[in-house]
Amino acid sequence: MSNLTNYAEVIALRISDEWSGKEDFPEDATLLQDILGKLLIDNPTECEKLIGTGIIEDNYFQSLSSP
């Protein structure tokens, strides 16, 4: 799995998790996550634009692997 794919999946999860309707419509939040992930994977340039923003830090995976 490529690093960009990892970022796409985490971005999709973060956005769907913060959606205000998640509690009332959990199935829709899962659908939103799936659709966003696919869109970001299919559009790597757009996905890269989100890396390093308030949505996802550019060192997100480095901080997870740090002891």
Q: What is the pLDDT of residue 62?
A: 82
Ranges of each domain in the chain: 3-65
CB 11 within 8 A of CB 39: no
pTM of the entire predicted model: 0.85
If one compares 2 and 25, the residue with the highest pLDDT of the two is 25
**Amino acid identity for residue 51 in this structure:** I
Distance, in Å, from the CA atom of 2 to the CA atom of 40, rounded to the nearest integer, reads 13
pLDDT tens track for 17-59 = 999 999 999 999 999 999 999 999 999 999 999 999 999 999 8
Q: What is the pLDDT of residue 63?
A: 62
Return the structure tokens found at 21. 């309707």
**pLDDT beyond 70 at 61:** yes
